[in-house]
Amino acid sequence: MPAVRDIDVSVLRDAVSRLLVEANYTIPPDVLDALRAGFAREESPLGRRTLEQLIRNYEVAAVERLPVCQDSGVAVIFLEVGQDVHWIGGALRDAIDAGVRDGVASGYLRKSVTADPTRRLKMAGDGGPGVVHLDLVPGDSVRLTVASKGFGGENMSALRMLVPADGVPGIIDFVVDTVERAGANACPPVIVGVGIGGTFEGAALSSKRAAFRPLTIRHSRADVRDLECDLLDRVNALGIGPQGLGGRVTALAVNIELLPTHIAGLPVAVNLGCHSTRRMTIEI
Amino acid sequence: MPLHQAHDDRDLIGTPVSHITTLDCRDGIPESVWSQLCAGDAVELTARVLTLRDASAARLVNALERDQPPPVSLAGEILYAVGPSPAKPGQVIGSAGPTTTERMARYLPALFRAGVRGVIGKGELHGGDVEAFSSHGAIYFAAIGGLGALLAKQISAASVLAYDDLGPEALYALHLVAFPVVVIIDRAGRNFHEAARAQWRTKS
């Protein structure tokens, strides 16, 4: 029987804080590479100027240690915890939220979360809490991803309960329509996270995972990879272009995640990520 | 380095648009330049502007609808839809790129009636929202979303004028210097986002 590994929650708290700040100052290399590749193929003058400005923004933010965008968003924490890990020193959830609040304060990030969504209560925000997605996996290590989700793309995201007869053509129409309706609002070039299958909430969560999947990773199934490429071509044919100023580069990638679903259903969720997609992962 | 000096010898050679209009509003809006602005024009704007956010716009319009004086005169003003990050020591302001204008669109007619002449933000406006601009002769400018760190360098002063309790949604006065924007809705009611999409759309 494997030994249980004790980890103090303060280790997690400090890691969340550090990753939140770093993610907000430094755009992931795969996103920056995709923006540079987009710049190379963009034909519209305003689109090229916009991509150049964005790349410069990310270079300057990393060197000068500034938030790449004032919308440092909601902190979304993906935690894969080995089932042989034993947390000591306090409550796991409290430690994560303390890490989020500390990162927002120490990193000069905007307090973008309101505790009361009805806005009836006047409550000063403190940057937290985060949104936490926890998975138990074999082993005694922890994989922590801290992402910042801005609401330009989040507000334009959508979920639809398609039916089996809609099939892949229905999926294509819904994804393309969602990106088209989002237009400039989602801060294109966007990263299109698509969750297909599962349940209502399962599709939504898997579209979030897809939006934060590295752009260098394609789906393991060849036909789904082809669907990702086909959807990217269709989205880029919309002409929206960088920041909606017209052009060829409306999306940097379409990432699809599949889940088994009910024989009567075909849930599809589209979570739009802006070009400032911020995420960082470590193993503990 | 200021954004307007960015076209240097770096390997990412810029592709300057054919012309950039200089719009200096420090002594009031220059009517000769303002009246000539067309959808799609790239502009470098120097002006004192007031910030616009969901919470501050709601409060402003609530005051206007009750015939209470707003905490600051809106006559002849340009609004910038932004909720900045906190300033680090030595900074004028933290990251300060535009937010989505459409969220505040329902407040704009009342703000135009109070004298607002232009709005800077990001994202799409359609239908009645476009008409609200054109019927008041107002202009909608888009700044580049996600350009927060660079745009902060084009802001030379920032102060809170009202609604301090709203934190990042307080009503600020910001001094913009050669701030890069694009005209989206001009005084003739043309909508550049729609025109650009039609121009670059690939027929399938």
Quote the pLDDT of residue B147.
95
Quote the pLDDT of residue B99.
97
Instruction: Please tell me the distance in Å from A270's CA to the nearest CA on chain B.
Output: 19
B150 vs A44, A60, A238: nearest CB: A60
Quote the pLDDT of residue B5.
38
Using an 8 Å Cβ cutoff, are A276 and A66 in contact?
Answer: no
CA A234, chain centre distance (Å): 21
Quote the pLDDT of residue A174.
98
Quote the pLDDT of residue B8.
36
A70 vs B83, B192, B201: nearest CB: B83
Instruction: Please tell me the distance in Å from A8's CA to the nearest CA on chain B.
Output: 31
B23-32: pLDDT as tens digits = 999 999 999 9
Interfacial A residues in 226-245 facing B (CB < 8 Å): 234, 236-241, 243-245
For residues B120-138, average pLDDT? 95
Instruction: Please tell me the distance in Å from A284's CA to the nearest CA on chain B.
Output: 30
Cα–Cα distance, B195 to A66 (Å, whole number) = 35
Q: What is the pLDDT along chain A (284 residues), one digit of tens a residue?
A: 568 999 999 999 999 999 999 999 999 999 999 999 999 999 999 999 999 999 999 999 999 999 999 999 999 999 999 999 999 999 999 999 999 999 999 999 999 999 999 888 877 788 999 999 999 999 999 999 999 999 999 999 999 999 999 999 999 999 999 999 999 999 999 999 999 999 999 999 999 999 999 999 999 999 999 999 999 999 999 999 999 999 999 999 999 999 999 999 999 999 999 999 999 999 99
Extract the tokens encoding B65.
Answer: 């609808």
Q: Enumerate the residues of chain B whose CB falls inside 8 A of the CB of residue A185.
A: 100, 102, 122-124
Res B9 pLDDT > 80: no
A67: exposed, middle or buried (C-beta count within 10 Å: 0-12, 13-18, 19+)?
Answer: buried
| Contact across the interface for A71 and B18, Cβ inside 8 Å | no
* Ordered DSSP codes for chain B: --GGG--SSSSS-----S-EEEEE-BTB--HHHHTT--TT-EEEEEEEEEEE-HHHHHHHHHHHHTTPPPSS--TT-EEEE--PPPPPTT-SSS-----BGGGGGGGHHHHHHTT--EEEEBS---THHHHHHHHTT-EEEEPPTT-HHHHHTTEEEEEEEE-GGGGGGSEEEEEEEEEEEEEEE-TT--BHHHHHHHHHPPP-
Residues 6+ apart with CB under 8 A from B135: none
Side chain identity, residue B110: A
Place B19 in a pLDDT band, splitting at 50, 70 and 90. Answer: confident
Q: Enumerate the residues of chain B whose CB falls inside 8 A of the CB of residue A184.
A: 122-124, 142, 145, 193
Find tokens 């990520």 and name the residue.
A273
Q: Enumerate the residues of chain B whose CB falls inside 8 A of the CB of residue A70.
A: 82-85, 94-97, 99, 148, 168
Quote the pLDDT of residue A8.
98
SS3 A240: coil
Using an 8 Å Cβ cutoff, are A28 and A280 in contact?
Answer: yes
Mutant choice from A59, A106, A245, A278 vs B, greatest count of B C-beta within 10 A? A245
Percent of chain B residues past pLDDT 70, beyond the cut: 91
Residue B87 CB: number of other CB atoms within 10 A?
15
Place B204 in a pLDDT band, splitting at 50, 70 and 90. Answer: low
Res B16 pLDDT > 70: no
Cα–Cα distance, B31 to A160 (Å, whole number) = 48
Cα–Cα distance, A36 to A30 (Å, whole number) = 10
Integer CA distances (angstroms), A171 to A36, A197, B35, in order: 29, 11, 46
Residues 6+ apart with CB under 8 A from B36: none
Instruction: Please tell me the distance in Å from B48's CA to the nearest CA on chain A.
Output: 20
Mutant choice from A243, A275, A278 vs B, greatest count of B C-beta within 10 A? A243
Is any Cβ of chain B less than 8 angstroms from the Cβ of A55? yes
Q: Determine the residue of chain A that is closest to B41 in CA distance.
A: A46
| Contact across the interface for A71 and B167, Cβ inside 8 Å | no
Mean pLDDT of chain B: 90
Please report the ipTM that was assigned to this predicted complex: 0.94
